[in-house]
Structure 1
Amino acid sequence: MNKIKYCTLIILLLAANTSFSNVTLPAFFSDHMVLQQNAEVKLWGWGNPMEEITVTTSWDTAEVKTKADRHANWQVLLKTPKAGGPYTITIKGYNQVVLTDILIGEVWLCSGQSNMEWTPSSGITNGEEAIKNADQPEIRFFNVVKNSAENPQLDLKGEWQVCTPNTMQYSSAVAYFFGKKLHENLNVPIGLVNSSWGGTPAETWMPQEVIHADKTLEEASKKLGADVWCPSEPGRTYNAMIAPLVGFKVAGVIWYQGETNTGNADTYQHTFSALIQSWRNDWGQEFPFYYAQIAPFEYGAPEIGVKVRDAQRRTLAVPHTGMVMTSDICTTDDIHPRNKLDVGLRFANIALKNHYQTMQGIVEGPLLDSVSFKGKKAYVYFKNSEGLYLKTKDTLFEVAGADRVFHKAKGALKKNMFIVSSDKVSKPKYVRYAWGNTSISNIFNKAHLPASSFTTEKPE
């Protein structure tokens, strides 16, 4: 009888030990996920301290072994092959976890506020047709559930989903159209990690220590008002919706945000540049970071919208960035342009040319290159200027002298350069273009992409 009790006790102890030491993984390591191809990717999770963990993959029969540390953390590095699948990954400790239907391809992080979050079911142009044709099994979504936190988190909520009409209609429309074109052109699986939240300012998407260490960022963050729809405090969405993802290998980032930062327009270039660098620092990866310029809209106060657009243009000084123009595919009475297809395609074109180097030609709109002054005239040169043309006669240029009082100017197009002048300014010193919250560019290049608004005045 005592022997039976002893054996029962041992069995119960072993069962207890196993139940409290199961190997677990973050939510984004799961069935149906996409891993970055031809890369060294990190896989991590939790287990019992000193528990031996063995990881095997069906693309490589070699076993990768590690042990959970005294804080119950473990991680391994896996070398992924070229695009393909489906594969399985087996993680074995005291228990065993098998991840199935894993694809290897290209993974992109998609983030920002409502224009990135906007789904096909929310009323986009030709949304019903896009949903109907969204049976794309090699495109996968991971939609991060909205959450905020005072401190960086280890995990988040969400699940990988195969792209079907049902899953696509509740995922980011911009991300889907971006991923679909990448898939068609690269012929590889595409993973789209969507972590976005409507109404959020940039400050809540970056580590709070970055903000607190920078006087300009800290002062700007203090001006952000509370919003009933989303957090605005520094770092809150970063902590809950980005920090857990840090280390998950991605090819790059696409970003659509800025409308909420119109109240801090004068410092947005500094803020946005710091956000890009902070994410790259966290990942230890100089990944491409492409973003959409906000659309012309009233925005409530003079010039705050166009100042953000100009700040986004200036942020192109950060290496490996690219900007999608939206002024020609919007209406000025809607802060959410319904044409998400062209936004996604323009993102994809920039990635295909600049990152994947599989596309030729111009993929971005005309951008201010330089301005020179001679007498009463200003000579304005653009980048991406091949085939410049005007859609309307009014060139939307203004010039100012040393007094910084701007006057409407004439602009004569000579090949890929504009000669700009005003009878009211005898000695121009500054030039600006399409300078207004609702001003829509009418200068286009050979790719039929619009020029960005700009001013040669330096932000205060």
Structure 2
Amino acid sequence: MKFSIRSLLLVLVLAAVDSTKANVILPSIFSDHMVLQQNTTVTIWGWAKTLEEVKITVSWYPAKEHKKVTDATSYWSFEIETPKAGGPYQITIQGYNTIIINDVLIGEVWLGSGQSNMEWTPAMKIEGGETEKAKANYPQIRFFTVLPWADSTPQKHVAGKWVVCTPESMYYFSALMYFFGKEIHSKVNVPVGLICSAWGGSPAETWTPEFIFERDNILKESASVLKPVSWSPVEPARLYNTMIFPLIPYKIKGVLWYQGEANTSNAVHYQRTLTALITSWRASWGYNFPFYMVQIAPWSGYGKDNVSGAIVRDQQRKVLESAPNTGLVVVSDIGDLKDIHPRNKIDVGKRLAAWALHYDYGLSMAFSGPLYQSHEIKKDNVIIHFKYSEGGLIAKGGTLKEFEIFDGKQWLPAPAKISGSTVELNTKSVNVVKGIRFAYTNDSNPNLFNRDNLPASCFEVLIDK
């Protein structure tokens, strides 16, 4: 029933388009209350009768009228310059009919994608959700939720509409994105448009274009490991085709990504998969936008007989090395080992916003916990260096825990102590150190933080020497 309802909704949208081919048709991403990216050139596109002249005027440049004739596929598009943040504005598009888009704001546009932790709404119960709902009147924050639907071929349309942030609309929108957007709006003082395109239980492969798997046999084989499930498509590109492709080339500032729980069965290739996804999305949009990830939280439900959840978390960390202009939010300190859906979305949103505020909006602030950088072996010790450890490291609750060393056969607990901005491991218990790792269990509860009170990411490093 879940799939049939979604299919019916999209069929109704497409039927409406087909029945009015003589009229100017817009994708649903262009509607009243929309937000356009500021200080750039945005694309506005749609369809009309073949070889029909289409005109567009925008109220921020009222004296300039743009004209084009549709091509053989009835498609038309305009490149329109946007000023600095402001509004409300109006867009008028005229062909056989006239469409007027009202209450258009210009500001910052962010796309959020992934699985259920991205789409999780305050109505699904989050910490502080009811309190936040009561005060969520932010007319300069706008939401667009992409209706979930899957298909084997790229589509032209998504179902959804822009809405103004009110207590009612906020309650059924992505909580994480709301708190992210609220932080950006508060700190930068600009309108914010938030587009949520997420599906619970979906693996990264289904958000990745088909051609990626045709060119990469490793990823193709890795995708074949995914077993069909009732709650989500798992086949490559199914959600990219319907929930991402139709949004291109709507200009966005960047992407927020919270996904990975559905990739524990092929965890060892997650870095390769997500790097390919990021690269392909950027190529499709035509520019190198920032891509900020949330590392999945530790969870006991992955099992005690494997470390698949830890592998995904470490693979996410490694994406920072293989894909430029990316960031990672670690949430090991605000998760719930008994719930794959941690209810603290406030801090997740704020931590994502810190990456954007620092790198994209020029505000000086703490944005990352310690990340493994390098190590050196000195007699019976391994010295581990971390990025983002300026000012020193701290072990909450006393003794530093969850560090291990590998002797070539097994992983063993390693006594660890903090020395300024480094961690020293005592390795006297093994003859040769073949590897080091930290917080590498599915239900890890590490206590290493930097002075900004942000947690360190897990890592595993094998040593050849």
TM tier relative to shorter chain: over 0.9
What is residue 377 of structure 1 aligned with on the other side?
A: 381
Structure 2 Cα separation of the partners of residues 227 and 457 of structure 1 = 34
Deviation at 1:435, TM superposition (A): 1.2
In 2: Cα distance, 1:85 partner to 1:439 partner: 48
Q: Distance in 2 between matches of 1:125 and 1:457?
A: 39
Residue of structure 1 in register with 2:164 after alignment: 162
What residue in structure 2 maps to residue 443 of structure 1?
448
Distance 2:140 2:334 in 1: 29
The answer to whether the aligner puts 1:308 opposite 2:312 as a matched pair is yes
Residue matched to 1:400: 406
Partner of 1:44: 45
2:70 — aligned with what? 68
Greater mean deviation of Cα atoms: 189-198 or 210-219: 210-219
**Equivalent position SS for 1:24:** coil
3-state SS, counterpart of residue 352 of structure 1:
helix
Equivalent residues of 2:85, 2:107 under 8 A apart? yes
Q: Which residue of 2 aligns with 1:32?
A: 33
TM-score norm. by structure 1 comes to 0.94
Query: What amino acid sits opposite 1:48 in the alignment?
Result: K
**In the alignment, residue 453 of structure 2 is paired with which amino acid?**
H
Following the alignment from structure 1 to structure 2, what is the Cα–Cα distance between the partners of residues 81 and 207?
33
Unpaired runs of at least 5, structure 1: 1-17
C-alpha distance in 2, partners of 1:101/1:362? 35
1:390 is aligned, of 362, 387, 395, to 395
Aligned residue for 2:359, secondary structure, equals helix
Higher alpha-carbon deviation: 285-294 or 374-383: 374-383
Q: Does 1:337 align with 2:346?
A: no
CA distance 1:415–1:394, change in 2 (3 Å)? closer
Structure 2 residue matching 1:350: 3-state secondary structure: helix
2:119 aligns to what? 117
Instruction: Please list the CA deviations of residues 379-415 of structure 1 after superposition, one character each: whole Å capped at 9, or x if unmatched.
Output: 10100002310013142211123x1422111112111
State the shift of 1:209 in Å: 1.3
| Higher mean C-alpha displacement, 232-241 vs 425-434 | 425-434
In the alignment, the residues of structure 1 paired with residue 420 and residue 73 of structure 2 have an alpha-carbon distance, to the nearest angstrom, of 65
For 1:421, which of 426, 447, 461 is the aligned residue?
Answer: 426
Deviation at 1:206, TM superposition (A): 0.7
Counterpart of 2:274 in 1: which secondary structure? helix
Instruction: State the SS of the aligned residue for 1:373.
Output: strand
Task: Verify the 8 A CA contact 1:441 1:452 in the aligned structure 2.
Answer: no
The Cα of 1:377 is off from its aligned counterpart by 1.2
Matched, 1:410 2:415: yes
User: Shift in Å at residue 227 of structure 1?
Assistant: 1.0
Alpha-carbon distance, 1:129 to partner: 0.4
Q: Which residue of 2 aligns with 1:349?
A: 354
Q: Deviations over 1:434-460 (max 9, x none)?
A: 1111112211001100000111028xx
Q: Does 1:55 align with 2:38?
A: no
Please state whether the residue corresponding to 1:53 is helix, strand or coil.
Answer: strand
1:311 counterpart letter in structure 2:
Q
In 2, the alpha carbon distance for the partners of 1:167 and 1:189 equals 16
The aligned runs of 1:5-404 (5 Å cut-off) are: 20-61=21-62, 62-298=64-300, 299-300=302-303, 301-317=305-321, 318-358=323-363, 360-386=364-390, 387-391=392-396, 392-401=398-407, 403-404=408-409
For the aligned residue pairs, the C-alpha RMSD in angstroms reads: 1.4
1:7 matched residue in structure 2: none
Q: How many angstroms apart in 2 are the aligned matches of 1:196 and 1:280?
A: 18
Larger radius of gyration: 1
Query: SS where residue 457 of structure 2 aligns?
Result: coil
2:382/2:427 contact within 8 Å kept: no
SS class of match (2:462): coil
Tell whether the 8 Å contact from 1:373 to 1:429 is kept in structure 2 after alignment.
no
Contact 1:32–1:101, Cα closer than 8 Å, also in 2: yes
Structure 1 residue 20, shift from structure 2 partner: 4.4
Provide the secondary structure at the position in 2 that maps to 1:431: strand
Aligned length: 440
**Contact 1:53/1:93, CA 8 A, preserved across alignment:** yes
Contact 2:118–2:257, Cα closer than 8 Å, also in 1: yes
Q: CA deviation at 1:81?
A: 0.6
**What fraction of aligned residue pairs are identical, expressed as a percent?**
47
Pick closer, same or farther for the CA change 1:136–1:71 going to 2, 3 Å: same
Give a deviation string over 1:54-105, Cα, whole Å, max 9, x none: 1001100100111111110000000001000000000011111000000000
Contact 2:143 2:193 in 1 (8 A): yes
Tell me if the contact between 2:59 and 2:89 (Cα under 8 Å) persists in the aligned partners. yes
SS at match of 1:379: strand
Residues 388 and 443, structure 1, Cα contact 8 Å, conserved in 2:
yes
Question: Partners of 2:222 and 2:21 in 1: how far apart?
Answer: 46
Q: Which runs of 4+ in 1 moved over 6 A?
A: none
Shift of the alpha carbon at 1:375? 2.0
2:379 aligned partner, one-letter code: G
Q: Structure 1 CA distance, aligned partners of 2:31 and 2:158?
A: 13
Measure, in 2, the Cα distance between the counterparts of 1:249 and 1:377.
Answer: 50
Quote how far apart the aligned CAs of 1:422 are. 3.3
In structure 2, C-alpha distance between the alignment counterparts of 1:441 and 1:19, rounded to whole Å: 59
What SS class does the counterpart of residue 280 from structure 1 fall into? helix
Mark the runs of 5 or more structure 2 residues left unpaired by the alignment.
1-18
Q: Which amino acid aligns with 1:417?
A: T
2:137 maps to amino acid: D
> Greater shift after overlay, 81-90 or 370-379?
370-379
| Cα displacement (A) at 1:21 | 1.1
* In structure 1, distance between residues paired with 2:51 and 2:87: 32
Normalising by the residue count of structure 2, what TM-score does the alignment of the two structures yield? 0.93
